[in-house]
């Protein structure tokens, strides 16, 4: 079992729809959770981070964390073609080097006009 | 947000030569920097973690004598690919750790002929 698992996709949604990206992690002691977006041929860029159970909203993006279920998700509302990218879930364990994250393999999202 | 630069963005070299890649944190001090490589359509692979003023910690399977990492200051880490071969051709990405978050550089695309 991988430490951080994501649906590989590809996930395809029509423009304007809600895209839902899911991630599960195995280390119950994990404390910090991140979502990165990576366009093809580019490096990852941080979209959101979340530390506490519940929802965190930033514009069209909402991160959801459920530590009991070891589950973190990213919702993208009003999806745009420019949201088409690979989304990486990253998790920090409690006892790791500052900033060291374990990454999932990513989910590729395609938003069709 | 925190900015990380990498230089060069793209390099082509002959087999057997060495290539140095620089990673700089521009507006923050990164006590920890991470080096990744990524093959096309594959996930990020952590190569090593470098802490300022100390030896880098390499992930299992990464040859430390081939991938030399120096983290001489809080804003600069370098990766030298020694005696590069075509199989070393890849996208190399660094990131700087600030708090518990990583901020990625734009990446360096290495092609070894």
The answer to which of A36-40, A48-52, A99-103, B76-80 has the lowest mean pLDDT is: A99-103
pLDDT value for A96: 63
What is the pLDDT, as a whole number, of residue A33?
A: 95
- Numbered residues of chain B with Cβ closer than 8 Å to any chain A Cβ: 1, 31-32, 34, 43-44, 46, 49, 51, 57, 91, 93, 95-107
Report the share of chain A in percent with pLDDT over 70: 96
pLDDT at B8: 97
Contact B75, B25 (CB under 8 A): yes
Q: Which residues of A touch B97 (CB under 8 A)?
A: 97-100
Pairing of strands B101-104, B4-7: unpaired
Mean pLDDT within A56-74? 97
Cβ proximity of B90 and B12 under 8 Å:
no
Token pair for A5: 């698992």
Please list every residue in chain A whose beta carbon sits closer than 8 Å to the beta carbon of residue B99: 98-99
Q: What is the pLDDT of residues B20-69, one digit of tens each?
A: 999 999 998 888 899 999 998 888 999 999 988 888 999 999 999 999 99
**Interface mutation target, options B102, B106, B108, B111, chain A, most CBs of A under 10 Å:** B102
For the CA atoms of A68, A71, A77, A80, the dihedral, rounded to the nearest 10 degrees, stands at: 170
Q: Does A95 touch chain B (CB under 8 A)?
A: no
- Whether residue A77 has a cis bond before it, omega within 30° of 0: no
For residue A83, give Cα distances in angstroms to A34, B44, B63: 17, 20, 37
Residues of A in contact with B102 (CB under 8 A): 34, 46, 90, 99-101
Nearest CB neighbour to A46, from listed B46, B51, B103? B103
Beta strands across the sheet bearing B19-25: B4-7, B19-25, B76-81, B67-73
SS3 B91: strand
Mean pLDDT of A34-52: 95
- Give CA–CA dist B30/B23, Å, rounded: 11
Q: Report the pLDDT value the prediction gives residue B72, as an integer from 0 to 100.
A: 83
Distances from the Cα of A45 to the Cα of A38, B18, B101, angstroms: 6, 29, 11
Q: Number of CB pairs < 8 Å for A and B?
A: 60
DSSP characters for B31-44? SEEEEEEE-TT---
Residues A85-105, mean pLDDT to the nearest whole number = 85
Task: Collect all residues of chain A within an 8 Å Cβ-Cβ radius of residue B57.
Answer: 97
Residue A95 has pLDDT above 80, yes or no: no
């Amino acid at each position: 079992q991988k430490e951080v698992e994501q649906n590989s996709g590809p996930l395809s949604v029509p423009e304007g729809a809600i895209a839902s990206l899911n991630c599960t992690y195995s280390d119950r002691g994990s404390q910090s959770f991140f979502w990165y977006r990576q366009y093809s041929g580019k490096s990852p860029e941080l979209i959101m981070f979340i530390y506490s159970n519940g929802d965190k909203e930033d514009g069209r993006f909402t991160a959801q964390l459920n530590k009991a279920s070891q589950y973190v998700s990213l919702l993208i509302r009003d999806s745009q073609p420019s949201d088409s990218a690979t989304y990486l879930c990253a998790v920090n364990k409690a006892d790791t080097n500052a900033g060291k994250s374990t990454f999932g393999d990513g989910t590729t999202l395609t938003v069709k006009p | 947000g925190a900015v990380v630069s990498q230089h060069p963005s793209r390099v082509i070299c002959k087999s057997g030569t060495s290539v140095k890649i620089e990673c700089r944190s521009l507006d923050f001090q990164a006590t920890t920097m991470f080096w990744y490589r990524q093959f096309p359509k594959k996930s990020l692979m952590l190569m090593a973690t470098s802490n300022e003023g100390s030896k880098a910690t390499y992930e299992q399977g990464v040859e430390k004598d081939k991938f030399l990492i120096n983290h001489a200051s809080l804003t600069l880490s370098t990766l030298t690919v020694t005696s590069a071969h075509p199989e070393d051709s890849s996208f190399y990405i660094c990131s700087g750790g600030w708090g518990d978050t990583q901020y990625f550089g734009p990446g360096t695309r290495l092609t070894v002929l």
